Amino acid sequence: MKEVWGSLLEFFAKASADLVLKIVVAALMIIVGMKIIKFAGNLLSKSLKKSKLDEGLQGFLENTAIILLRFMLVISVLIYLGVPAASFIAILTSAGLAIGLALQGSLSNFAGGLMILFFKPFRVGDFIQTDSMSGSVQSISIMYTTLKTLDGKKVVVPNAKLSNDIVTDFSWYDSRRIDLSITTDFSEDVESVRNLLLNLAAANDTVLKDPAPGATLDKIQDGTLVFTLRCWAPTKEWWATNIALTAAAKEALAAQNVTLRGPVREVRQL
């Protein structure tokens, strides 16, 4: 590195009066170049806004393009002034190595952010769940994704974790299925309980007619009957519909004198 800076200082020390004209031309190159870069940045920004790319990705691409263009302009001007190109290559190589070693963890987040922004496994506003957390996606940046939990907490997740973890997106599709299970006494009439559950689904306005609701006796377990009502609701209405069906099931079962049971255990004294 000392040899590189030494060569640069030696170059400027030996510069002749002709360098003054070059400096003037270089200054004009910078002024004109910055105006061109600004104009190109505005065109790129308008083009990105018309695209379907995520807002976070749009900002990243715009800023990256402007930084690269400015960097290329500065390098071009210095080379025009006669600075050896090999000096810049050496500096860039050394700087790149140092930055890469210092930012190993951040680079993995950076790569994960690019994958999320390009491939869109989830979107802003979606409710997602991983093995360790769940919440609504508030923002997706190039390094981190911000979630809002159901109890109002802000969770900042490194993109490297999200890009390498299994993510369940509850908001991706327009509708979700509700599985409402009840356990009754073994003596209850199967058809009566099935019809009762189907009537519950039919009476709820937010339950979708297609696919049609279904109620089945799923299994006989520990001396009880386990029934499940399966129906579909719009994703935005899923929570409210689930809660409403549960409350309605309790009232309807009590009105029909259907006995609910937990697992039956027989205890014998030896």
The segment with the largest mean pLDDT, out of 23-27, 112-116, 260-264, is: 112-116
For domain 2-102, the question of CATH label 2.40.37.10 is answered with no
Residue 21's pLDDT is what?
Answer: 67
Give me the residue spans of the domains in the chain. 2-102, 120-169, 175-255
User: How much of the chain exceeds pLDDT 70, in percent?
Assistant: 77
Query: Residue 44 has what pLDDT?
Result: 83
- Matching fold, domains 2-102 and 175-255: no
Cα separation, 7 vs 83, whole angstroms: 9
pLDDT tier for residue 192 given thresholds of 50, 70 and 90: very high
Question: Using one digit for the tens of pLDDT, what is the confidence trace for 80-138?
Answer: 777 676 666 666 666 665 555 545 556 778 888 888 888 889 999 999 998 888 999 99
Q: What digits encode the pLDDT tens for the residues 46-63?
A: 887 777 666 666 776 787
The CATH number of domain 120-169 is 3.40.605.10: no
Is the pTM above the cut of 0.75?
A: no
Among 3.40.1080.10, 2.120.10.80, 3.65.10.10, 3.30.70.100, what is the CATH number of 175-255? Answer: 3.30.70.100
Q: With 0-12 CB in 10 A as exposed, 13-18 as middle and 19+ as buried, what is 3?
A: exposed
8 A C-beta contact, residue 112 and residue 159: yes
Residue 36 C-alpha from the chain's centroid = 35
pLDDT of residue 81: 73
Q: How far apart are CA 11 and CA 65, in angstroms?
A: 31
DSSP-assigned beta bridge partners for residue 219: 226
Helix 85-102 to helix 55-80 angle, to the nearest 10 degrees? 150
